[in-house]
Structure 1
Amino acid sequence: MSARTLVLLRHGRTAYNAAGRLQGQVDIPLDDVGRWQADESARALLTRETPTLIVTSDLGRAADTARVLGEAAGVRVVADERLRERSFGAWEGMLREEMLAGWPEEFAAWRKGEEPTTTGAETRAAVGVRMVEAIEEHVAGLDAGETLVVVSHGAAISIAITALLGLDPDGWKGVQGAHNAHWSVLQASGAGAVPAWRLAAHNIGPDFAPDHWAAGPDWQSAASSV
C-alpha cells in the first residue's frame, strides 16, 4: 500500500433518491439537484483534498459526479464496475410501501438489520470483497502521499468502510450511509498495523443546511410555495 489518503465520495441526487426508491444497480442519471450537488461538492472537496486519481462506478450517476470532480481538479477519471452499488434484485426501483406489500416479513427483518434472502439481493460480504479489491488495486498504483478518490454509492461505500476497517460487513452495520455528494476520508495505517485503514472523517460535504442541500439551489422558492 502506497497512497496515504482514500476519499470515498457518494454520487449526487437522482429522481429515485428524491422519491425514496431503492436504486441498487438501476442506471439512474443525476437530476437537476444532483448536478448542482456535484458542482458544489467538487468545489468543497478540492479545498480539503488533492486527488491524484479518481476512480468511479460505471453507473451514470456516479460517473457524472466523478466527471465534474475530475474536470475541476484536472485529474483523469477511470471507471470500474466493481464500485457499483449493491444489487437489491427484485426490490430495485421500488418504494418502501411496494417492498412492504410484496415481502412484508422479509422487509420487516431487513429494517431490523437482517438481510433479504428471497429477493436476489447481493450479499454485503460480496459487496465488501469487490469494493476492497478494486480500491486496493487502484491504491497500489499510487505513490506515498498521493490521494485516491473513489466515487460510488451509499450502501457500497458504507460496506467498503466497514471492510477496510477490518470488520465483518455481514455482521457489523455501524456505519450510517452518507448524504448525496458527501464523502468520507480514510488514512492508511502504518506498515503492519491492523486495520490497514483508519476512518478520519465521515459524511463530509459543503456547508449547506440539510433542507437546502436536499432541495437544491432553489430551496427558498420551493419552501415558500409549500
Structure 2
Amino acid sequence: MSARTVVLVRHGRTEWNATGRLQGHADVALDDVGRWQARRGAQTLFRRHKASLVVASDLVRAAQTAQAYAEASGARVVLDARLRERGFGQWEGLTHDELVDGWPEQYEAWRRGEEPVGIGAETKAAVADRMVAAIRGYAEDLDAGQTLAVVSHGAAISLAIAKLLGQDASYWRGIAGLNNVHWSQLSRATAGATPDWRLVTHNAGPDYALDEWNDGPADLGDDADWISAPSSA
C-alpha cells in the first residue's frame, strides 16, 4: 500500500534567505517573517491537505515549519536527515557577490546547471537519491487514502520532483524552485504507468502578493513571537 498524495513543502524564511546567503547544511533558524510564514502557510495548507504524517529535514528551519503544520493538523512529525538541503561545502554562508568574486568559473558552471567542482558540494544525483528514498519509504507506510507531507528545502525539493517524474536530476532543470512555505502536490499514477508519480500542483501557497509574503506584513503581531520546539520520532 502507498499514500496516493504527497505534498512537498519548502521551509519559511531565514535571515540568510533575506540577505542572500547560501544555506545548504548550515543550521539556520526561521526569522520573524519565517515564523509568520510558517503559521499562515500551515493554516492554508491544512485546509487543502490533511496529512496523516509530516516528515521533515532535521535542519531547524524545516523542523520549525513542519511543527507549525503539525500543530494545525494534529499530525505527528518525524525528522529525517535524508530530507536536508543540498550540501554546498565551502560556499555555505556566502553571498552572491562572494561566490562570484571567489569562484567565478565554478559559479558560472553552477548557474548553467553543472556541478561546481572543488568546493565540496553534494552532487545533484546524490541529493535526489536520498530525498526520493525517504519519500517513497514514508509513502509506502501509509494507506492509499492518506496524505504524506514532506517539509524540506528549495533545491532538494526540485531535485526530488525531477527524479519522481522520471527525469535525470543531474542535468534536467524543468522544475522551478519554490517560494518559502509554498508547496507542490504529487499524486500516484495508475498502477504500471511511467512515471509512477504525477505533478498536480507546483509552487502553491497562501493568498498573498509575493512581495508582502516575502517581506512579511508591517505588523507581525503575536506571530513574531511564535515558535515551537520540533518533535521527532
Give how far 1:46 is off: 1.1
Partner of 2:102: 102
Q: In structure 1, the residue corresponding to 2:93 is in which secondary structure? A: coil
Question: How far apart in 1 are the matches of 2:61 and 2:123?
Answer: 22
1:223 match:
none
CA distance in 2, matches of 1:196, 1:2: 12
Q: What residue identity is the alignment partner of 2:194?
A: V
Structure 1: stretches of 5+ with no match in the other structure: 221-226
Q: The residue matched to 1:200 in structure 2 has which SS?
A: strand
Contact 2:9 2:182 survives alignment (8 Å): yes
Amino acid at match of 1:76: R
Counterpart residue number, 1:135: 135
Tell me the distance in 1 between the aligned counterparts of 2:191 and 2:83: 26
- The 5-angstrom pairing of residues 46-195 of structure 1 reads 46-195=46-195
* One-letter amino acid matched to 1:137: G
Provide, for residues 82-141 of structure 1, a one-character-per-residue CA deviation record: whole Å limited to 9, x for no partner.
Answer: 000000110011001111111111111211222201111000000010000000110111
Structure-2 separation of matches of 1:94 and 1:173: 23
Q: Deviations over 1:149-195 (max 9, x none)?
A: 00000000000000000100012011111000000000001111110
- What is the rounded CA distance, in whole Å, between the counterparts of 1:73 and 1:114 in structure 2? 39
Say whether the 8 Å CA contact 1:36–1:217 is kept in structure 2: no
SS at 2:48 equivalent: coil
Query: What is the alpha-carbon distance in structure 2 between the residues aligned to residue 9 and residue 164 of structure 1?
Result: 15
Moved more, 33-42 or 103-112: 103-112
TM-score, normalised to structure 1, is: 0.95
User: Taking every aligned residue pair, what percent have the same amino acid on both sides?
Assistant: 59
Gaps of 5+ in 2: 221-233
Q: CA RMSD in A?
A: 1.1
Rounded Cα–Cα distance in structure 1 between residues aligned with 2:168 and 2:110: 17
The answer to whether the 8 A contact 1:186-1:201 is kept is yes
TM-score of the two chains, using structure 2 as the length reference? 0.93
1:208 maps to: 208
Match of 1:161, SS state, is helix
Aligned to 1:36: 36
Q: Is the 8 A contact 1:83 1:156 kept in 2?
A: yes
CA contact (8 A) 1:211 1:219 kept: no
Letter in 2 for 1:126: A
Structure 1 distance, partners of 2:12, 2:163, is 24
List per-residue Cα deviations over 1:35-88 (Å, max 9, x = no partner): 000001001111111101000000000000000100110110000100000001
Counterpart contact for 2:114–2:171, Cα < 8 Å = no
Could you say which residue in structure 2 is the equivalent of 1:218? 218
